[in-house]
Structure 1
């Protein structure tokens, strides 16, 4: 007969089995309830809204609402992927440099170093070019027409997604490639400013005093680099490096991913296809630059002075492109101009220290090089003096001149070029010169000017730009003195003047016309009007008006007149006509026509 001990054990085991069975039943009921209460967002519905808005970024607020209302557990996201697969929507353009895409459930597969797109019957594929390998779907860098920037995905059936272990990133991400994160010019120009601008567009209704909630995915093989702090402060979460993705087994899937960077904030063409030069159609101004600068200074917690400080920054280099008489130059500037000279270098200063020092300076002096990009942080009314080694023409290499002369920057630019070969010391071991014949080496070393060339390995350019230089101290003192004289005038970047490139005049107001008949019976109409009402809030160099005369009962062709005064008189050939008047600011800001009938 079983003992009481065995009976107790049997009852306990039966009770445990019953509890486990009940738990499993409840878990299934809970999963069904979760799915019915929080269904997957309808991608087709999203597509209809997005097409109406004509902008892939306009869904941000909708995504924000969905993120707040949906429980993004890994289990839930797995079920959504298995059911709905992936979806993508790009802005409708044939120009790869302008295309940006929004993905749902885009997955990175480290074993193949590829992004996977899982097709299902519910997948939405909108505005994807017929051949997305010609040359690519999208560019993940602001550097145009470079194969390094090309992005694409591999097509997979949704059934195959069940074969992988999946690690989910449920927060919104922006996938980009850093072009050269060890060079400050590339960091600011190619990455930080375009990324900041993109994130600002994605968070238009967000709190401007907080960091952005989109995580950066740095899809490149670089490690963090010396300026990683600038990438780090752009988001409230740490950037995800490619090395992080490669160390993860299975798939890393991004529930909400943006891919592509805007090019509208860039100002310079590095010369991969033609000699380097400023971008012809550059649109960036201090509207975008000033916003980014203020954000970086705030997030780095820098101490900024409201008063002008009596020091200039001298960029010091430690290996090549040295200023041979740097200390003599520094002492002479201090003695002659009564101003302190602060030497800074990438080797001895952190990026925070560099930015803080420049943000409070009167100006920067330095050899042509990436640290001159720090001029973007100079206060208004300051200056940049750029020094060039022998045979390097300042007119051919202007990334920093272009930067400080962007609309509204209010920074004085001057350059100095060494014209004396005896004041230069070359480094024949650098730039590949040793791989050339003796005759070719001598030809390059004897050049008076570097010929125009394509980036980035031209031996003539590399040899001459790496030269050390004994600078003309007197000439640089005079340039500095002139720049300080200009900067002593109080200068402030007016917020109103910054945005002048983005505004148009409103309608011309209260148009009046009076017809008169002269003694020779020729007709004349005198027109008067009031300026567009919004002009009182902006400052312009030139204001013009165009008047179009259209005859109502005559076959005479309409005539366009440039008004040189107000009132303005026009000879007319009839007594019944329409007048159309519009305002033109600085020759290219054109307002709307306003119509009036004159009889």
Structure 2
């Protein structure tokens, strides 16, 4: 080990002939040991520090000088007298740092072990001079989870900590803490990393980094999967504009050129492995004829897509240029994020499955103000449903269950909202194949009619009204004054600058430090006839509108003697 350090030292001295300051030496030292030299971290006087803050209830932390032990899946925090710990009230806070936006799932917390500088676990460590952003991918091989649980929350977190996406993407290398592989959507993750993301579990030695960031905001999440509660939509505080920014960023980084929208194109998301539509020829003819009837001047073009035979950039490009998407419930529906306003999303669901419980795209269109026309069709004819009781349990099989449980599942016709993750009734119904019946036609016709009546301005106005009502509160009254004249007290003020018709003013008055009066008025002035001659008055004014109110405004006056 001494020999290795000697060689590095010689190289540094040789490189610093024209640069003799300390920062140059440190920079070159990192440059040389970044060649994945195995070193003893203890000889660097290695000291860890951490700074944390809370954002929307999520703990965001930046660590300095932290190592990772792949075999134990542990982060090693070297505590010395020089360590700085900010934003933490106790050691318990170190147990509530989460590396995923998925809430109520303790597997995805950052596992930290406090060690001393004498701990031998770091003596054969690999030093990598990169700033790492830690991410636990929930399901790295499922496109819906990639976007909803990882990339959109990551985008939002980058905005929070860096202000601009480019600052974070140029600073951080993604480090995956899950045990997954690169996966089919590795290209998408790479858009948010200044180098190829690292699979931390692939390292054999302890690996150390000068800087780590942990914590992923969950405020963009609009659907939850039933951890500690039944699955279904959740409210999100992220405006649609942020999702538009995310979409534009992905499109730009993938190098997709925006093309004219083809109003005749109908995307049909065809599942080929499971949850299949069995009467495809009949179904595609329905699509063609119904669209042709709704738009007689056009010639519909059915574009059949699926995740197994098309790369993600091509899929996104097609979604950007189409206005109608039809398909069986599945992860590919998340690509409707890339549709333009006024597009139709028509989702089909197997017998017994309720869209309000399982449809993340329905939740997206309702919660975020996405400007998309969403409609659904649920197969209500069990004779047109084909289950697979013989399949593996995770694909809807039930033969492994006791007979009584099998009978219960077969006799249950509507699946309620369930908790995660492997409810056999939910899986049995979810993985049914379907023959689409003629009752699909009027539902699809209604969707196309809604598209024809769609007005972007109406949707925008509705969204802005909802946004305003959620965030509006009156501004305080200003320039408050009061005067006495005989036994009359007069108070005057400038009204709230954002006053609306329903606004009233809640007035509290304290006379001579003992008598309290309360009054309401819609006007920016008030006269009160007193029952006795008061000498001092303190006035507090609060503007009130429905369930919101302003800060107090205050004034004090005294009778002239």
* TM-score over 0.5 (shorter chain): yes
Could you report, residue by residue, the CA deviation over 1:200-244 in whole angstroms, capped at 9, with x for unpaired residues? 333226757x94331000111111222222101112211111354
**Which residue is equivalent to 2:99?**
140
Q: How many Å separate the matches in 1 of 2:56 and 2:481?
A: 51
1:384 to partner: Cα distance: 2.4
8 Å CA contact 2:60, 2:213 repeated in 1:
yes
Q: State how 1:87-106 maps to structure 2 within 5 Å.
A: 87-91=48-52, 98-106=58-66
List runs of 5+ in structure 2 lacking aligned partners: 1-5
What TM-score, normalized by structure 1, do the two folds share? Answer: 0.75
1:195 to partner: Cα distance: 1.2
1:34 to partner: Cα distance: 6.2
8 Å CA contact 2:100, 2:137 repeated in 1:
yes
Could you report, residue by residue, the CA deviation over 1:148-169 in whole angstroms, capped at 9, with x for unpaired residues? 2022223333234696344322
**Which residue is equivalent to 2:269?**
315
SS in 2 for 1:402: helix
Q: State how 1:282-297 maps to structure 2 within 5 Å.
A: 282-297=236-251
8 Å CA contact 2:477, 2:542 repeated in 1:
no
Could you report, residue by residue, the CA deviation over 1:383-432 in whole angstroms, capped at 9, with x for unpaired residues? 32222221122232242222122344222322222222122221212324
1:479 aligns with 2:446: yes
1:72 aligns with 2:30: yes
Could you report, residue by residue, the CA deviation over 1:323-373 in whole angstroms, capped at 9, with x for unpaired residues? 333323322333322344332211222111222222232232222222221
Structure 1 residues 582 and 184 mapped into 2: Cα distance closer, same or farther (>3 Å)?
A: farther
1:402 aligns with 2:356: no
Higher mean displacement: 96-105 or 390-399: 96-105
Q: State how 1:260-409 maps to structure 2 within 5 Å.
A: 260-280=215-235, 282-305=236-259, 309-325=263-279, 326-338=283-295, 339-409=300-370
1:522 to partner: Cα distance: 10
8 Å CA contact 2:478, 2:553 repeated in 1:
no
**Which residue is equivalent to 1:120?**
80
1:276 to partner: Cα distance: 0.8
Aligned length, in residue pairs: 525
Structure 1 residues 561 and 239 mapped into 2: Cα distance closer, same or farther (>3 Å)?
A: farther
Structure 1 residues 552 and 443 mapped into 2: Cα distance closer, same or farther (>3 Å)?
A: closer
1:274 to partner: Cα distance: 1.7
List runs of 5+ in structure 1 lacking aligned partners: 1-19, 41-68, 536-541
1:109 to partner: Cα distance: 2.8
Higher mean displacement: 479-488 or 186-195: 479-488
Q: How many Å separate the matches in 1 of 2:488 and 2:337?
A: 60
SS in 2 for 1:238: coil
Q: State how 1:472-511 maps to structure 2 within 5 Å.
A: 472-487=439-454, 497=464, 507=475
SS in 2 for 1:154: strand
Structure 1 residues 346 and 561 mapped into 2: Cα distance closer, same or farther (>3 Å)?
A: farther
8 Å CA contact 2:510, 2:538 repeated in 1:
yes
1:502 to partner: Cα distance: 8.9
SS in 1 for 2:405: helix
2:497 to 509, 531, 555: 531
Q: How many Å separate the matches in 2 of 1:212 and 1:529?
A: 48
8 Å CA contact 1:380, 1:492 repeated in 2:
no
Could you report, residue by residue, the CA deviation over 1:182-207 in whole angstroms, capped at 9, with x for unpaired residues? 22221111100111122233322675
Higher mean displacement: 374-383 or 304-313: 304-313
**Which residue is equivalent to 1:470?**
435
SS in 2 for 1:73: helix
